[in-house]
Structure 1
Amino acid sequence: MPITFRRSIRILPGIRLNLNRRSWSITVGPANGPKRTYNSTGRRTTSMDLPGPFGWRHTSSRRRDS
């Protein structure tokens, strides 16, 4: 089993800094409602918890020009 590192730090109400071994991200949004996540690798995710065992998530990646 590999060793993993994941840490979530609350900066302000509704704003979290998420850290893991390879990248970091910032999540903005209330505890109960839509959230927007911006990742250091360019990935952006919008998500929302729905009642019951349901949830909604949309992920897009920023295109990097070389």
Structure 2
Amino acid sequence: MAITFRKSFRILPGVRLNINRHSWSITTGGKHGPHHTSSSTGRRTSSMDLPGPFGWRRTTTRRRRG
């Protein structure tokens, strides 16, 4: 079994700093409604919880040169 590490810190209301073994990310948005996450690896995610068991998520990744 692999050992994992993940920690989340609240910086300001609606802004969180998330840290794991390989990267860090900043998440903006409240508990309900739209969320926007930008990671140190270049991944950007926008998501939103919808009523009932529904949700929406879109992820884009920055291309690496070379």
TM-score (norm 1): 0.92
Q: CA deviation at 1:63?
A: 1.6
| Distance in 2 of aligned mates of 1:18 and 1:62 | 19
Runs of 4+ in structure 1 over 2 Å off: none
Q: Which residue of 2 aligns with 1:63?
A: 63
Q: CA deviation at 1:32?
A: 1.1
Uncovered stretches (5+) of structure 1, i.e. residues with no partner: none
Q: CA deviation at 1:34?
A: 0.4
Q: Which residue of 2 aligns with 1:2?
A: 2
Say how many residue pairs are matched. 66
Q: Which residue of 1 aligns with 2:12?
A: 12
Identity of aligned residues (%): 70
Q: CA deviation at 1:8?
A: 0.8
Q: CA RMSD in A?
A: 0.9
Q: Which residue of 2 aligns with 1:39?
A: 39
